[in-house]
Structure 1
Amino acid sequence: MANDASAVSDTRSPHSLADPFSPPADSALWRKNFLVGAATASYQIEGAVDEDGRLPSIWDTFSTTPGKVLAGDTGAVACDHYHRWEADVDMLVSLGLEGYRLSIAWPRVMDAAGLPNRKGLDFYKRLLNRLKEKGITTFVTLYHWDLPQHLEDRGGWLNRDTAYRFADYADLMSRELAGTVDAWATLNEPWCSAFLGYGNGHHAPGLADVGFATQAMHHLLLAHGLAMPVLRTNDPASQKGIVANIGRGTPNSDSTADRRAAHLFEVQHNAWILDPLLKGAYPRDLFELWPGTEPLMLDGDMQTVSAPLDFLGINYYFRTNVSSDGAHGFRDVPLEGVERTQMGWEVFPDGLRDLLTGFKSTYHNLPPIYITENGMASDDKVIDGHVDDTQRISFLKRHLAAVDQAIKAGVEIRGYFLWSLMDNFEWAFGYERRFGVVHVDYSTQKRTVKRSAELVAKFLKERKARV
């Protein structure tokens, strides 16, 4: 299809632009060097799943399995970004966004023998070159969950060999794309890949065994560690890091048992990933929670995993209120009367601030941080050409305030990426849940800028005028 810029509908009205959004005058977010951008992921937006030599991924398989994804949705077309990328870049630029975080589809760029697929590589080269021409800072994630199905057929992340294949993939991409990428992230949210993919079956490949999850996590983190020196050799001017999703756990009461439960929640959600990266060891409490699930590893693995990071990407969405399960774990206790998003997640900005300041105290080698995802889903509709996403505007303003508070408490945070640039395939929830600051009509592929994006653009224009 043609890359038709007219598919973008500019809804910025004088009334909308008058609404409050900008941070207070003393906010660190006004700094010129604080990067503000938006993020996407390959399977969620690209479509074109069987074009130009792209191989099947685990999400192609999972989403076409009956009962796995809401309404039977798949990423076969998604936002058709593979064909509309030029107009999407123009839209990003029109909003004044300074950074763009995207991911590469591993099955699009390598064949089953590990050889490069030139048509797939050329797509990303064109995209990244255009972004650089437009002055956009580029953050590229190598793995945002779309593992090639042929690797899953050989065991996926339960197979140690997948970590070495990932290093080969990182080698190819960093050689081919060197100079067009400002920051490389090896993995996006290994907690989701390991636990949702192998621990409870909610995500691809759909396995459900906690012992599988801990082994998959080890191989994911090993893959990260093996890729880091490759990236440093091939593209020395870029930053290198990893992206982790974090969760705030709070106790349902002040009892010792409930406070322990909240601690264990954060151990399995946060320390399971951050301790190996920043301390070189898994947290012992993890195996109190999940006894007998210690992963198999080789001597030297943890030294590989804990290679120094240039940055740590942090994704945050909600908190979980928990109580003791009466044994050695925790159970969710949803609070009543709290604000929630379309996902059912509680809106809790203080959790982001508290986790960030806590990490600064816990990890003395904490690298600079980028908030690589933050946002919310709402049931957005276009009415008279406009999308008035009031809850998202409030959500973003409060979470940016939490980021500012963490910066003022001494946490080095260098930027913030909205999740997401546009509505897209929301994994097991299909197309029902809308996270974008740009609305997508999936039947026509028309993009409509939401009011939240208008106000972010207004803030960025004001900030640019100040400096």
Structure 2
Amino acid sequence: MIDLHEYPITEFPDDFLMGVASAGQQIEGNNCSWHDDPKYYGTQNYTGVPWVPAGKAMDSYHRYEEDIALAKEMHLDAFRLSVEWSRIEQEPGVFSEKEIMHYVHLLKRLKEEGMKTIVTLHHVSHPVWFHDLGAFNKMENLTYFLRYVETIVPRIMEYTDYFLVLNELNIPFEYSIEERINMLQFHAYAYRLIKKFTDIPTSSTISYSFKEPFRGRFDRADSVLAEYVDWIENEFFFHAVRTGEIIMPYHDVIYCPELKDSMDFWAVNTYIRQLIDSRKAFPIGSVYNATHFKAMDTPIYTEEIEPEIMLKMLMRLNDKPVFITENGISCKSDKRRMEYIASMLVAIKQGMDLGANVIGYLHWSLLDNWEWGSYAPIFGLAYCDENLDRHLKKSGAFYGAIAKNKKITSEIIHKFYDAKE
């Protein structure tokens, strides 16, 4: 069991950013992306429940002022969002000035409220026509993506503090090996294009899950397989950015000079560790019966969660600044969410004390929202009622108190964590 009362006072530097992350497809509603096209329903469902489209979602397209107000209520100084390509270019080569100005105004409002903005240019969703062309399966589609980047970046860069080109291009259940190889190159060329306009720090996020041999490092089979799984999900990404080499099993190496040093910081979405069991056909999914956090309430992940993943990850990525661009837990218990937030922040601070350069922490997510085919997962610091009015949870107030003070104290723990749910 984690006992927050055993934690020392944990204090962060004044310039350490604390904020939230969101994605347009998941909160805006009526997004026009390929996820909303009936012919693709079901193709991305990994939640274990029947696929449902996003529909109106949380209607943040119209109610973003309420989202900003929630962030302000929590004293947050950073807000991550995605600009939705599917809104801006619903037909090839036809860009909507109205939709571009929507994002310009949204970003301007965030800046007016004193928040740093982290803008994702592609967060899983994209136009139906781009998907019909094969999306990232074909390198010849790069020209369409660069046309979009060239159009939107000059319009929004005045109100952007960090750019993220692509989100989680490394995850196997979303992208094939060929797509992952191509998307690294899409990132590289987009990065070089962005740098023609601005020196704003730019990266792409990796979905980082720590791989651990189920039977421990002395079990050779589990250890070798853990190294292999880590390479095809994590290390290929880091190696490619460091060297320009894209190395994947059973695939000739791809040399992409534009890729080398094309990330100004490591942007890491991290939630879980995965125990690798070589005795199973599907080696990911075994769990320890005694661990810090059990599997989540909703059936997205069967993996375990341990705060140490933060420290171990930071020690691995000490050659660049690191931005924790997503971290959160899907659970009904708001008390567990407070345990999760506090433990992850304490682990981050220990990593910083050991020399890691961490820009900030973005909690996923601001709202309970659409999670790629389902509304069942509960990640939010706030929830929406049947009228889509926003309500801050106690965990949101807890995180807000930490953000306001840039520290975790016994007083904050007592006020929020010890109170009855």
Same fold (TM over 0.5): yes
- Equivalence for 2:383: 439
Deviation at 1:332, TM superposition (A): 4.0
Q: How does 1:247-396 map to 2 (within 5 A)?
A: 247-253=209-215, 254-283=218-247, 286-287=248-249, 292-294=250-252, 302-325=256-279, 330-338=283-291, 339-340=293-294, 341-343=296-298, 344-360=302-318, 366-379=319-332, 389-396=334-341
Counterpart position of 2:402: 459
Structure 1 residue 326 displacement after superposition: 8.3
How many Å apart are 1:325 and its aligned residue? 4.5
Match of 2:198 among 219, 235, 240: 235
- Alignment partner of 2:104: what SS? helix
Q: How does 1:135-174 map to 2 (within 5 A)?
A: 135-174=114-153
- Per-residue deviation, 1:419: 0.5
1:87-126 correspondence to structure 2 within 5 Å: 87-126=66-105
Q: Deviations over 1:24-56 (max 9, x none)?
A: 44x4x421010100000010000033xxxxxx3
**Equivalent residue for 2:415?**
none
Q: More deviation in 176-185 or 267-276?
A: 267-276
Letter in 2 for 1:197: E
Task: Quote the offset at 1:440 in angstroms.
Answer: 1.9
CA contact (8 A) 1:144 1:188 kept: yes
State how far apart, in whole Å, the 2-side matches of 1:462 and 1:77 are. 36
Residue identity in the other structure for 1:342: D
Aligned 8 A contact 1:64 1:74 in 2: no
- Do the aligned residues in 2 keep the contact of 1:251 with 1:262 (CA within 8 Å)? yes
Q: CA RMSD in A?
A: 2.5
Aligned equivalent of 2:37: 61
Q: More displaced, 395-404 or 104-113?
A: 104-113
Matched residue SS, 1:426: coil
Residues of 1 paired with 2:51 and 2:219: CA distance?
A: 44
Matches of 1:432 and 1:225 in 2, distance apart?
35
Q: Report what 2:186 is aligned to.
A: 223
- Matched to 1:234, the amino acid is F
Which piece of structure 1 moves more, 39-48 or 85-94?
85-94
What letter is aligned with 2:66?
A
- Percent identity, aligned pairs only, is 25
Flag the 1:60–1:448 CA change in 2: closer, same or farther, 3 A: same
Counterpart of 1:182 (choices 161, 164, 183) is 161
| Equivalent residue letter for 2:41 | T
Q: Partners in 2 of 1:134 and 1:21 — Cα distance?
A: 34
Equivalent residue, structure 1, for 2:16:
34
1:256-287 deviation per Cα after TM superposition (whole angstroms, max 9, x unaligned):
2221122112112211222111222234xx41
Counterparts of 2:341 and 2:265 in 1: how far apart (Å)?
Answer: 23
Q: Where in structure 2 are there 5+ consecutive unaligned residues?
A: 410-421
Task: Find the aligned partners of 1:294 and 1:128 in 2 and give their Cα distance.
Answer: 42
CA distance in 2, matches of 1:371, 1:38: 10
Q: Aligned pair in 2 of structure 1 residues 73, 330: CA closer, same or farther (>3 Å)? A: closer
Which secondary structure state, in structure 2, belongs to the residue aligned with residue 179 of structure 1? helix
List gaps (5 residues or longer) in structure 1. 1-18, 50-55, 199-212, 361-365, 381-388
- Pick the aligned partner of 1:44 from 26, 29, 49: 26
Question: Aligned pair count?
Answer: 396
Q: CA deviation at 1:66?
A: 5.2
Out of 179, 191, 194, the residue aligned to residue 170 of structure 2 is: 191
* TM-score scaled by length of structure 1: 0.79
Distance 1:66 1:41 in 2: 20
Report the equivalent of 2:363: 418
Aligned partner of residue 36 in structure 1, secondary structure: strand
Distance in 1, Cα, partners of 2:5 & 2:142: 44
Output the amino acid matched with 1:460: A
Q: Give distance in 1, aligned partners of 2:277 and 2:26.
A: 34
* Deviation, structure 1 residue 57: 2.0
The TM-score normalised by the length of structure 2 is 0.88
Whole-Å separation in 2 of the counterparts to 1:434 and 1:82: 20
CA 1:187/1:22 → structure 2, altered by over 3 Å: closer, same or farther? farther
Match of 1:246 among 191, 194, 208: 208
1:21/1:32 CA distance change after superposition, 3 Å: farther
CA contact (8 A) 1:265 1:330 kept: no
Which stretch of structure 1 is more off in the superposition, 336-345 or 112-121? 336-345
Specify the code of the residue in structure 2 equivalent to 1:322.
I
The offset of 1:323, in angstroms, is 2.4
DSSP 3-state at the match of 2:182: helix
